[in-house]
Amino acid sequence: MPTNHAPLVPAPTHLTPHSGHFTLHTETTIRATPGAEPAAALLRTLLSPATGLPLPLSANGPVVFALDPQPDATGEEGYRLTVAPESVLLRATGLPGLLNGIQTLRQLLPAAALAGTPQPGPWRLPCLEITDEPRHPWRGLLLDVARHFQPVSFLRRYVDLLALHKLNVLHLHLTDDQGWRMPVTAFPRLTEVGGRRAESMVGPAGSRRFDGIPHEGAYSKDELTGLVAYAAARGVTVVPEIDMPGHTRAALAAYPELGNVPGRRLDVWTRWGVCETVLGVHEPVLDFCRTVLDEVLDVFPSRHVHIGGDECPTTEWAVSDAARARAAAEGLPDTDALHGWFLGRIGAYLTERGRVPTAWAENGEGLPPECAVMTWRDPEHTRIALKRGHAVISAQHRSAYLDYAQSSGPAEPQAQPGAVVDLRAVHGHTPPDDTDTPGRLLGLQAALWTEFAPTPGNVDYLTFPRLCALADRAWHGTPSWPGFRARLRAHAARLATLGVRRGPLDPHVPDPHVLDPHVLDPHVRIPTASEGNSHEQDDQAPARPR
């Protein structure tokens, strides 16, 4: 693909450039075939702030959006786009394909068309033909709002950024030891108590320094249902994650009776790392989980519902009379086996309600076959999980965890210790071939855990431009690294227009458009990596693999 003609991110499957332009102007109208009207409405919504173009519907408009009733090689999310001097034709088998084509049209226009305020034209599209379809059906980003809460306005902005890059899943990590953000009518203390912690750790897991600043936040049901609708209109599915049976300290602070030690009172955890307090396995706990999930299903129509499942220490179960009795009653060999038993019970509950339980796992061992698996530690685990019969999403931490530093430079802000995940590593995220297990590899996902990203500016800096690299890999499958670098340099103008406070395109080359990451948000300063490494450590603190 000629990168100087249409530097699109992600790269389209096939692009043929032609000479000339089509110009959008105040008299331009859109003809939409039945079912294509939402795509026309979305283009109008997205372009209006910058261009002021009304783009009304008409019976003979030169811009045509068409749902093609005949299936073709592009599939449900693919599209065909032809731009000629006098007309534009965008057609697809399904509405998701039209919505992806809308994002291509946006990128083909000058970067100013992405602005939120009026800009001068002209608004020209280069003449070309594109036939495009994604390599993977799941192309996502996990955003952790449990460690650091972000308002729903910020989440909507991120939905728009995902859609621009043809990413179609926003995975919301809504609960953890450090905070509970999901409202549950039957258990109001989950957000009233579990949504607030007294302070936050400064530095990596095991640091003995804290900021002394309370942190709190929770969403309303209306906010979340509104987010889901906003995302759906842009072709993005919001997948909720409610962590269990570990990563539940915030829930236990709100409802101690859900734990393993009768009468114990806990606070919402202020540290990072893996907390040893986990849910009990008595029947009221399972009732609690079912009630929470019922509310989740009411809010989130996504086919997949994530139940966490990882990093669940079994220490408390081993010394609990109730847990030992439960293991014996279920015929389990020991209390360690309660982990798989618990996820099996919860997974079956979701399956009965027509959803796909999804969990973190190294290779799927111990999980029921109907559970989709997110593999994160080793690419070999993806192969194993596929062979076990699981549907798999690849989220390898060495190429998709955006809380790791982007470089080893001394000015890099503090990040998760243990690795550097640079732009090329993300672009190289290639899951194992699924030839022997067709259809089971769902796709790729990046993950931004937010211990070191308390504010929107910090989130931007860690996410971009690395998320552009994952989008390129997830959509195209085999894009070249030099081609991506060339397209990214042009794409940077789009990110700047959208106000994205990105990291450097190349940490070794001065970039005047990168703001100092330590002052992205003046009221919160993130220490440098060297400052973080100087913190006094607690030798007993567990490592945090995700």
Residue 52 near residue 120 (C-beta atoms within 8 A) = no
State the Cα–Cα distance between residues 487 and 482, nearest whole angstrom.
Answer: 9
| SS3 sequence of 38-52 | HHHHHHHHHHHHHHC
Non-local CB neighbours of 441 within 8 Å, separated by 6+ positions: 136, 382, 386, 391, 392, 394, 431, 432, 434
State the Cα–Cα distance between residues 284 and 443, nearest whole angstrom.
Answer: 36
Instruction: Give Cα 368 to chain centroid, integer Å.
Output: 24
- Is residue 432 classed as helix, strand or coil in its secondary structure? coil
Q: Which residues of 449-461 are buried (b: 16+ CB within 10 A; e: fewer)?
A: bbbbbbbbbbbbb
Token pair, residue 260, equals: 């393993």
- Is residue 24 classed as helix, strand or coil in its secondary structure? strand
Q: Which residues of 61-75 are buried (b: 16+ CB within 10 A; e: fewer)?
A: bbbbbbbbeeeeebb
State the Cα–Cα distance between residues 446 and 141, nearest whole angstrom.
Answer: 5
Whether the CA torsion 329, 332, 338, 339 is positive or negative: it is negative
Non-local CB neighbours of 529 within 8 Å, separated by 6+ positions: 405, 410, 412, 413, 414, 415
Residue 394 near residue 441 (C-beta atoms within 8 A) = yes
* CB-neighbour burial class of residue 322 (10 A; exposed 0-12, middle 13-18, buried 19+): middle
State the Cα–Cα distance between residues 528 and 415, nearest whole angstrom.
Answer: 8
State the Cα–Cα distance between residues 157 and 456, nearest whole angstrom.
Answer: 10
Q: C-alpha angle 395/466/230, rounded to 5°?
A: 80
H-helix or E-strand spanning residue 476? helix 466-476
Residue 479 near residue 473 (C-beta atoms within 8 A) = yes
State the Cα–Cα distance between residues 323 and 336, nearest whole angstrom.
Answer: 10
Give the active site residues.
Answer: 176, 247, 311
